[in-house]
């Protein structure tokens, strides 16, 4: 089998204002274990805000999403504007509030949200090319913005978030932390991760399945 190339979009560094670190690392680890070649990307923009992860309070400073994401990627990361769909077989977006604050405005605007232009352009390109996409935690909230009405996804069981996702035109399917939801027509795979997980092992149980399924889908034409 040929080595598959996967683009991963990060949204900063830290659950409250960026990419969820455990979700991101589990994703990168599983992709590596399965022999995939990975390139991380992030938008070169300012974070919505900076949160003190010890106290949960906002801090009076500014940070850059690409610079912060580089912490998780050990410096091996590129501006999302450099990402070309033709170079990759699949796309995965870890969660964390960064997905709802930096990659989109879902945290502040709910079902009226928009997706950051470069993120949307890349995700739409994967959708149009019928290449598999994996979303986890809160990142499936933007599925309807990528695929349009009728897309099936999960954020777990949170009623308020599921309601907003439904208002945006998606079909929300409740899901246990260890399971995945697949929209077969669109090759979209989602899993709740830390929307439900109480431990890193619980988060990994669903993320590993999601990564495995995304990679399986890339081999369908082989």
For the chain, the structural domain boundaries read 5-218
- Helices then strands, each counted (H, E), the chain: 8, 11
Q: What pLDDT score does 64 carry?
A: 98
107-146 pLDDT tens trace? 999 999 999 999 999 999 999 999 999 999 999 999 999 9
Residue 148 C-alpha from the chain's centroid? 17
With a cut of 80, say whether residue 221 has pLDDT above it.
no
Percent of the chain with pLDDT over 90: 97
Which tokens sit at 138?
């809160």
Predicted confidence band at 2 (pLDDT cuts at 50, 70, 90)? Answer: confident
Considering the chain, what is the average pLDDT of its residues?
Answer: 97
Q: What pLDDT score does 213 carry?
A: 98
Catalytic residue among 13, 40, 113, 137: 137
Beta partners for residue 5, in sequence order: 37
Which tokens sit at 16?
């409250």
202-219 pLDDT tens trace? 999 999 999 999 999 999
Q: What is the DSSP string of 43-90?
A: --SB-S-EE-TTT--EES---BHHHHHHHHTTT-EEEGGG--GGG-SE
Closest among 19, 22, 72, 24 to 200, alpha carbons compared? 22
175 is catalytic: no
Cβ distance 185 to 215 under 8 Å? no
Domain at 5-218: CATH architecture: 3-Layer(aba) Sandwich (3.40)
Which tokens sit at 24?
């991101």
């Amino acid at each position: 089998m040929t080595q598959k190339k996967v683009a991963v979009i990060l949204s900063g560094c830290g659950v409250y204002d960026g990419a969820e670190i455990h979700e991101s690392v589990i994703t990168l680890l599983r992709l590596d274990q399965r022999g995939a070649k990975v390139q991380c990307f992030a938008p070169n923009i300012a974070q919505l805000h900076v949160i003190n992860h010890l106290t949960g309070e906002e801090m009076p400073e500014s940070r850059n999403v690409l610079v912060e994401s580089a912490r998780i990627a050990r410096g091996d990361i590129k501006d999302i504007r450099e990402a070309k769909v033709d170079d990759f077989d699949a796309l995965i977006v870890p969660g964390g509030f960064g997905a709802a604050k930096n990659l989109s405005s879902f945290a502040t605007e709910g079902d009226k949200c928009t997706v950051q232009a470069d993120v949307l352009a890349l995700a739409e390109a994967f959708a149009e090319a019928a290449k598999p996409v994996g979303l986890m935690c809160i990142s499936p909230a933007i599925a309807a913005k990528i695929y349009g009405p009728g897309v099936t996804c999960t954020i777990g069981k949170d009623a308020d978030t599921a309601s907003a996702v439904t208002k945006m035109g998606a079909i929300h399917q409740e899901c246990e932390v260890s399971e995945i939801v697949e929209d077969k027509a669109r090759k979209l795979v989602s899993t709740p991760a830390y929307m439900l997980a109480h431990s890193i092992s619980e988060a990994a149980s669903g993320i590993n399945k999601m990564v495995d399924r995304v990679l399986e889908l890339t081999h369908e034409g082989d």
